[in-house]
Chain A
Amino acid sequence: MKKLALAGLLAVGLTGCSSEEPKVLNLYNWSEYMPQEVLTRFEEETGIQVVYTTYDSNEAMYAKLKLLDDSAAYDLAVPSTYYVSKMRQEGLLMPIDRSKIEGFDNLDPELVNLDIDPDNKFSIPYLWGTTGLAVDTADVEGEPVTAWADLWDERFEGRVMLTNDMREVFHVGLRVLGYSGNSTDPEQIEAAYEKLTELMPSVRTFNSDAPRVPYLEGETDVGMIWNGEAVMAEETMPSLEYVYPEEGIIAWLDSFVIPKNAKNPEAAHQFISFVLQPEISALISEEIGYATPNLAGREMLPDEVANNRASYPTPADMTNAEFQVDIGDEALQVYAKYWEMLKSGR
């Protein structure tokens, strides 16, 4: 009798599995980088449940993806430019089946078929944005802040915030010295480190989780911020201005990629197509303040969003702008060492 009951239970369990596929999409994304509404609507339309996990740096995302590679913990991730090329070259990604992607043609021709991924075989652009200067005009008096170099000004002692991102912080140091933000020259990196140590007494905090928060908390008045965060902060803190530094802004493009061993690539393709719908792309850009590469979506934006210079820079704003590229492992170690030294404040 007992055996019979057990068999019955097993049978129920088995049919329970086979009648319905496990419809779950494991999405691994930057924190605060996807409106909840988009996830809800996707779940309603497709019946696929989205398990949403976040990270606050490319490095953390890369390490976890690589570690959990075989257990296939994630179906979709959103690395920045230079990590797309790195992960593609290391064979960590699954090719994207373009026949299953709708709306690819809506993407800005200038943001597809880039060197990081020729022909977009492995990546589909999600959002692009910039890292520039945030200035709380209510608390900053005197000369307006127009350049990265202004952060070194004595009047900002203890009031500066930097992102908790090794590459971005060194980008600033390198640009102030007139070098490329993608430098791999150890001497230039060291010079940038020396320059940044002069800034450290002014630095109150590093934050890449939600860089607008220290400004909203009143802890910092000036420093680095991502444009979308600046747009999000505007609502509660109109005095926070987004400034394009004279030395040139840091630009990046984040793209959807499917890890090689993803359990549910089908759902991943469906999600990409869902986001590429002009209406959804517009919704995302409006909600979180970053620029959509989807031209059809951009046309649907309300004027105040489409004309917001923080989200959509003018060609003049992009003078000297530099996209981040992969610098290779050797240079990475050099950066990492100086980053430790910088952050331990010695």
Chain B
Amino acid sequence: MPSITRQPFRTAVLVLVWGWLLFLVLAPNLLVVGASVMTRDPGTFISLPLNLDAYRQLFDALYLEVFLHSLYMAAMTTLVCLLIGYPFAWALSKLGKQRQLLLIFFLIVPFWTNSLVRTYALKMLLATNGLINSALMGLGWIDEPVQMLYTEGAVIIGLVYLLLPFMILPLYSVFDDLRQELLLASHDLGAGRFATFIHVIVPLTLPGVLAGVMLVLLPAMGLFFVPDILGGSRNLLVGNVIKNQFLDARNWPFGAAASIVLTITMAILMLAHRVSKQRIGEEGTG
């Protein structure tokens, strides 16, 4: 294999990437799959024999309801992100290059601060004697403080705040690629603004929407610390159930099985994303 000796840099990069994927992605996930089919053991956490009890337990009405509720919370979060992110990304793509870069920079800056810290900051804003209530009462707009903290609304606000950039960035990239010629053609062929939006813009930005939905929906179901801090420590998300199973109930197979279900949901979404992308490719060429 002469290429290996001749291209040491390339080899190093390949080894690094494959090593990374094998040890930090594949191996941990296989461990989770392994744990999910083992038996719960109070002494060693997990033990043989292999069985599917953990998955059977998932179909308990209780966990089905938790999963559905989690899906509802995540869907609401995704919807709000989409409603804010779509026009935002559109407007962003219309700006000059310099301004675009600046705004994207502002979008990314919050990531320099730990998300846990930002969630606590949000808590200080939303509390009954927090900043928002004090300000509203100071202005005389309300007499009694509004209860915002420890509600489902607070959890959704927290999730939207943390995940919005993940919706905006893929949308921005599809809007950036949107060719003006197509819009002009649509116009010349007699389509109004609304018709152009429905028949041209929406289909062309659909892959971005799906990518954004994928990047928001799944993490939203797993960010257990948001309900812990803003929702009063209730099991609002699948992430909380997984955490409780691992730490409090010490039922590792069950916690692992719940996390596998999340992974599978993710895989289904990715498949949908690919299919939609392919369809658009076909329409483009045909």
A-side residues, CB < 8 A to B, are 57, 59-60, 63, 66-67, 90, 158, 164, 166, 203-207, 214, 217-219, 329, 332-333, 336-337, 339-341, 343-346
User: What B residues does A166 contact at CB under 8 A?
Assistant: 248
Contact: B251 with A206, CB < 8 Å? no
Question: A90–B45 Cα gap in the complex (Å)?
Answer: 13
B173-196 contacts to A, CB under 8 A, are: none
Contacts of A206 in B (CB 8 A): 232-234
**B118 close to chain A: CB less than 8 A:** no
**Which of B47-55, B75-83, B123-131 lies at the binding interface?**
B123-131
CB distance from A160 to the nearest CB of B (A): 11
Contact of B42 among A59, A67, A207, A329 (CB under 8 A): A329
- CB pair A207–B248 under 8 Å, yes or no, is no
Q: Chain B's nearest CB lies how many Å from the CB of A71?
A: 15
Q: How far is the CB of A336 from chain B (nearest CB, A)?
A: 4
Q: Tell me if B145 is interfacial: C-beta within 8 Å of chain A.
A: yes
Tell me if B157 counts as interface (CB < 8 A to partner A). no
Q: Is the CB of B62 within 8 A of A341?
A: yes
- Give CA–CA (A204, B152) in the complex, Å: 11
User: With contacts A205-B150, A205-B232, A205-B233 known, is A336 near B249, CB below 8 A?
Assistant: yes
Q: List 9 A-B contacts (CB under 8 A).
A: A63-B250, A207-B233, A217-B127, A217-B130, A219-B147, A339-B244, A340-B66, A344-B62, A344-B235
**Which residues of B sit under 8 angstroms from A203, Cβ to Cβ?**
232
Per the bound structure, the CA–CA distance linking A209 and B257 in Å amounts to: 28
Q: Is the CB of B234 within 8 A of A343?
A: yes
Find the residue from A67, A218, A337 having the highest chain B CB count within 10 A: A218
Q: Which residues of A contact B162 (CB under 8 A)?
A: none
- Given contacts A158-B147, A205-B233, are A59 and B250 in contact (CB under 8 A)? yes
Q: Is the CB of A345 within 8 A of B234?
A: yes
Q: Nearest chain A CB to B151's CB is how many angstroms away?
A: 9
Q: With A205-B150, A217-B128, A217-B130 known to touch, is A59 a contact of B62 (CB < 8 Å)?
A: no
Instruction: Chain B residues near A207: list those with CB within 8 A.
Output: 232-233
Chain A residues whose CB sits within 8 angstroms of the CB of B241 once the complex forms? 340, 344
B150 touches A219 (CB 8 A): yes
Known contacts A217-B127, A218-B129, A204 near B62 by CB under 8 Å = no
Complex partner residue of A333 from B127, B150, B249, CB under 8 angstroms: B249
Whole-angstrom distance between the Cβ of B232 and the nearest chain A Cβ? 3
Most A-side CB within 10 Å, residue of B43, B65, B247: B247
Question: Complex Cα distance A124/B113, Å?
Answer: 40
Residue of B nearest to A335 (CB): B249
In the bound complex, residues from chain A placing their C-beta under 8 Å from that of B43 are 90
